[in-house]
Amino acid sequence: MEDNIALPKTMKQIQAIGDELVKGVNAGDFNQAIMDLGATICRPKNPACEKCPIRSHCLASQQHRQDVLPINIKKKNNQDIHYITGGIYYQDQLYLIKNGPDGLLANLYGCPQYAVESPYTFIEAFKEDTGLEIDVIDHVKDIKHVFSHRTWYMHVYLFRLNSDSKSLYSKKEIDKLPISTAHVKVLKAIYSCLEF
């Protein structure tokens, strides 16, 4: 499921699937087994797929998407802005954008971000803007950045770009660019996942 599991409509869908699954079996035992699996094997970070008893039924594992799914973005306050923020790499370079001359972070560089619900919607928005194809690789980190009048929640994902682009920068080049404080935090998290 590529939808945000923190949304009520997604929870309803999951509940309906769960209701179907427990028909004719002991629901308590089923729930306990799922909780045990989540606590010991299918952990949010680094799930132990190699010893998972339900691996043969797991689409996330079969499609190598266990480091990305599920999408779990909890929104607490309407004043907050949630972004999917992309650490988009091609070989040893990162894709950055320069902000326009107006607005909060005018003329500063940063990673592309969209106020969307999932990295898969990010892929569509990025393609619409740039014509470029990317694949999501991993969830990096959730970063909170507080401005005087608003708070950004940046859900940072790693994406692989499938072709070269003029907006790619090496680490050396990025070190010389003016980067917003929020995106300095993002870059630090991205560099901790990439070896360049």
Q: What are the residues binding ligand SF4 (CB under 6 A)?
A: 41-42, 47-49, 52, 54-55, 58, 60-61, 66
List CB contacts of 31: < 8 A, sequence separation 6 or more.
none
Q: How far is CA 16 from the centre of its chain?
A: 25
Closest CB 38 distance from ligand SF4, rounded Å: 8
Cβ-based nearer residue to ligand SF4, 49 or 168: 49
Q: CB of 94: closest distance to ligand SF4 in angstroms?
A: 28
Smallest separation (angstroms) from ligand SF4 to the CB of 189 = 22
Longest dimension (CA), the chain: 63
- Residue 57 or 172 having the CB closest to ligand SF4: 57
For residues 13-37, b (16+ Cβ closer than 10 Å) or e, as one string? eeeeeeeeeeeeeeeeeeeeeeeee
> Given the complex with ligand SF4, which of 56 and 77 has the nearer CB atom?
56
**Closer residue to ligand SF4 (CB): 6 or 60:** 60
Least distance in angstroms from the C-beta of 12 to ligand SF4:
21
Nearest distance, CB of residue 43 and ligand SF4, angstroms = 8
Helix (H/G/I), strand (E/B), else coil: 136: strand
Contacts of 75-80 spanning 24+ positions with Cβ under 8 A: 75/6, 77/151, 79/150, 79/151, 80/150, 80/151, 80/152, 80/153
DSSP secondary-structure letter at 179?
B
Nearer to ligand SF4, 67 or 130 (CB): 67
Q: How far is the CB of 48 from ligand SF4 (least distance, A)?
A: 6
Kindly tell me which of 1 and 174 has the beta carbon lying closer to ligand SF4: 1
